[in-house]
Structure 1
Amino acid sequence: MLTKPEYIGKGSNRNPKIAIVHEWLVTYAGSEKVLSEMLKEFPDADVFCLFDFSDGKFSKFYNGKVFKTSFLQGMRVFRKMYRNLLPLMALAVEQFDLSDYDIVISNSHAVAKGVITAPNQLHICYCYTPMRYAWDLQHQYLREQKIDRGLRAMVARWMLHRTRIWDLRTVNGVDSFIACSEYIARRIRKFYRRDAAVIYPGVDTDYFQMGGEKKDFYLTSSRLVPYKKIGLIVEAFRHMPDKKLVVIGDGPQYRDAVERAGPNVSVLGYQEDAVLLRHLQEAKAFIFAAEEDFGIAPIEAQACGTPVLAYGRGGASETVVDGVTGLHFWEQSVEAICDAVDRFERMVGRFDAAAIRQHACRFSNERFRVEFRDHVNALWNAHCAESEVSCPKVALPREHSFQA
């Protein structure tokens, strides 16, 4: 039985003190958008991250909150190669002193869940995935980085071996896992032998709205990195010269996408949200070929009433309803994408834009905030009951209304 901790204060009616641990801040993408929504529900939470190399470009999304960083913040020479800091990240995240907090929420796809907490603290991990490159995708990762042979490969494999040992050690420090999809809940069960609740991330369905006339082109958008398979989509449209494709996004494989593109493919690079919105509204369909943990882009497309042709594994198998809001294909291959486009062309009139949008609204930001706050509330109250600690209460959630 745990002793009642003095720092909480017997009979105190204050809200529990909350820390959110985020991996790093270099862009404003999936996990950063979720962090922004967490802070709307817990605006007084302190945020810790390994480093912030964003130069304040995204502070408006966090109401100007200043993040508390680790010693890696001083290594700005790595700002364009920050993943090279991986060998130091485990050490860095363990140095955060979180002893003043009642609830610690790690927003984790790599090392954030490795923070050290005490028995009287509640550690909740919102998990996007066990580290892909350390577990089942190690061999693919090494091939894509061209370090699958020679001395560099031996060093990389040893480092990833040590990373897996550390990663398993950190599992015991998490009191409760939340997965971003059923797919990730299965991965957590496979690698960590832990059950996880599922709360899907939110999508800004208020911004991504239907509008505009459909035009004769297909669309894909994402960071241009290997596992997103943008090059594969571009290659497929080389085999369909009568079909037009627009690619929006930037990243290491931008040049590869441009070189693969035929005259029917337009690679626009990075575009502002307004340009992306217009293309999502006007596209015949959105193409998504990645095996993604959740995948926000297909939801944004569906919120605009646009069908999605998606690889039927990972998060898209849960967010795209085959034959209703889009179509699934079952191989990451040129032939499978071409077949999906052909099937779509033959049944394009069957897709109802309003029904597609209604489905997307099930994944709204507001729905995420309600489910996440209620779950944290329930976990904290259970934690207090089990430990017989006099705990500060979590404020009841505000009244919300959203489309289920």
Structure 2
Amino acid sequence: MKVAIAHEWFVSHAGSEKVVEQILQIYPQAELYSLVDFLPAELRYFIQHKPVNTSFIQKLPLAAKKFRQYLPLMPLAIEQFDLSAYDLVISSNHAVAKGVLTRPDQLHISYVHTPIRYAWDLQHQYLQQAGLNKGLKSPLTRLILHYLRLWDVASANRVDCFVANSRYIARRIWRTYRRPAKVIYPPVNVHRFRPDLPREDFYLSVSRFVPYKRVDLTVQTFAQLGLPLVVIGDGPQRQQVEAIARPPIQLLGAQPDSVVTDYMQRCRAFIFPAEEDFGITPVEAQAAGAPVIAYGRGGATETVIPDKTGLLFAQQTTASLAEAVKTFEQMRSRFSPPQIRQNAERFSIERFQQDFQAFVAATYLKFQQGDVLE
């Protein structure tokens, strides 16, 4: 069986790339397709140093740093890949990858991290943050996003089966495309963490400093509470967060995985105020035996068990988060690191490989027999 994997862009080793990494472990003979490939040499190990077939966007001016600005061209670019030689096409989609063209006798399975957020439920937030909610560029940008929505729905018909990374995303797939999706949680390297180290007197947040991650909410809340907080990460909102941070809050900036692992294994609890599609860091924290205090929407509701592996707070406000932290302070002795770790193991790499391989095999057999796929 000849296999092709289509992914939007290879520039880092983040959550969606870790899914591709494990799909490649299952199908090491697969060939890779991506709009652009700007992976540095030290990260090419996770794609097994394979060559990547790229689109014309790879060669456009300033593409290495500004490729996202070519968003209007991405639907056209993804359609130019000739995948006719493959039996199975797997797209890893959070923007346009599912739009690849295939024949009726090819099986196309799309693993969806999210439908294209800035064209759907985050459009107004995206326009505001980019300064495009008014002015001369606003009507053009809105027209482009309208076109993307039309193309996004139309291209969903090119997919034989959808796989969602959470029930939350499965609901969004249904709402956007009116298509069912099999839920297979993404792989998390739970074995890199030890849950048996002594817990210390600080809370932890690990995040990119971008608006929807709500690092500002975490820092503001802990500044009011006067509790020790360590924040690992960096991003465009760094100065804004620094302006409201004060002792005993520590901002460590971006750190290597070894440092993140060490802090997760020692923190009193992990703070996660974002509404995420899945959210890998709360699972990693639980693998390290740390309770998680998370916003009660999105993927965290599927990975955190209230009162057993953490707490969920109802609103993205300082009052709601502060109340959850105070509740945790009163009951933190009830949380069992072994039990928390056991919950995290539901999301292991081995479980992902087994579930994904079994789903593809069963689906391919049905497809070959001419059965109707759901």
CA deviation map 1:263-314 (0-9, x unaligned): 2211111101110000001110000011100000000000000000000110
**Is residue 2:216 matched to residue 1:216?**
no
**Alpha-carbon offset, residue 216 of structure 1:** 0.9
Q: Equivalent residues in 2 for 1:1-400 (5 A)?
A: 16-75=1-60, 77-241=62-226, 243-386=227-370
TM-score by length of 1: 0.90
C-alpha separation between the residues in 1 aligned to 2:371 and 2:170?
Answer: 27
1:211-236 deviations in Å (ceiling 9; x for gaps) = 43211111111222111111111111
CA contact (8 A) 1:53 1:76 kept: no
Q: How many residues matched?
A: 372
Contact 1:120/1:387, CA 8 A, preserved across alignment: no
Note the alpha carbon deviations across 1:98-155, whole angstroms, 9 max, x for none: 0000100000010000100010000000001111111111111212222211222212
Quote the offset at 1:253 in angstroms.
Answer: 1.7
Secondary structure at 1:206's aligned position in 2? helix
**Gapped regions of structure 2 (runs ≥ 5):** none
Checking the alignment, whether the CA contact within 8 Å between 2:196 and 2:337 is kept in structure 1 is: no
Deviation at 1:344, TM superposition (A): 0.4
1:231/1:78 CA distance change after superposition, 3 Å: farther
Alpha carbons 1:53, 1:79 under 8 Å: kept = yes
Matches of 2:341 and 2:13, distance apart in 1:
24
**Residues 200 and 267 in structure 2, CA contact (< 8 A), matched pair in contact too:** yes
Is this contact kept in 2: 1:23–1:108, CA < 8 A? yes
Letter in structure 2 aligned against 1:266? Q
Q: How far is 1:387 from its partner?
A: 7.2
CA contact (8 A) 2:57 2:67 kept: no
TM (normalized to structure 2)?
0.97
SS of corresponding position for 1:81 = helix
**AA in 1 matched with 2:181:** A
Which runs of 5 or more structure 1 residues have no equivalent in the other structure? Answer: 1-15, 389-404
After superposing the two structures, state which structure 1 stretch, 204-213 or 215-224, moved more: 204-213
Query: If each structure's helix is expressed as a fraction of its own residues, which one has the higher value?
Result: 2
Distance 1:187 1:80 in 2: 30
Q: Secondary structure at the match of 2:230?
A: strand
Distance 1:324 1:184, change over 3 A: same
CA deviation string 1:309-362 (max 9, x = no partner): 000110000000011100000111111111111010010001000000001001
Could you list the runs of 4 or more consecutive aligned residues of structure 1 that deviate by over 6 angstroms after TM superposition?
none
Q: Give the superposition deviation at 1:259.
A: 2.0
Give % identity.
Answer: 50
* Cα distance in 2, alignment partners of residues 59 and 187 from structure 1: 32
CA contact (8 A) 1:219 1:280 kept: yes
Query: Residue 146 and residue 232 in structure 1: after superposition, are their counterparts in 2 closer, same or farther (change >3 A)?
Result: farther
Structure 2 CA distance for aligned equivalents of residues 263 and 80 of structure 1: 36
Q: Which has the higher contact order (CA 8 A, sep 6+)?
A: 1
Structure 1 counterpart SS, 2:37? coil
